[in-house]
Amino acid sequence: MRSFAFLEHRLNKFNAYVLEGNTASATMMEKLGCVREGVRRQVAYIDGEFMDFILYGMTKDEFVAAQKEQ
């Protein structure tokens, strides 16, 4: 995913949203090297209640630095 975003599409940054409470997805984003950037509060209406999304992101510089560490 990261290589595709930064090398194939030449993106400088990508973002991903994780539904608050979805710890498995949040853990995966952090293991990939994404940084928690903030919360989009009550932006989704799911099963009768408003839910928050957690915003994660990674810049190309962060990706390159992580590749050098490997």
Q: In terms of Cα–Cα distance, which of 36, 26, 25 is closest to 62?
A: 36
Q: For position 8, what pLDDT does the model report?
A: 73
Is 1 a residue whose pLDDT tops 80? no
Q: Residues of the chain with pLDDT > 90: what percent? A: 59
Strands in 1-70 per DSSP E: 13-19, 35-46, 49-59
- The whole-model pTM stands at 0.81
- 2-69 in CATH: which number? 3.40.630.30
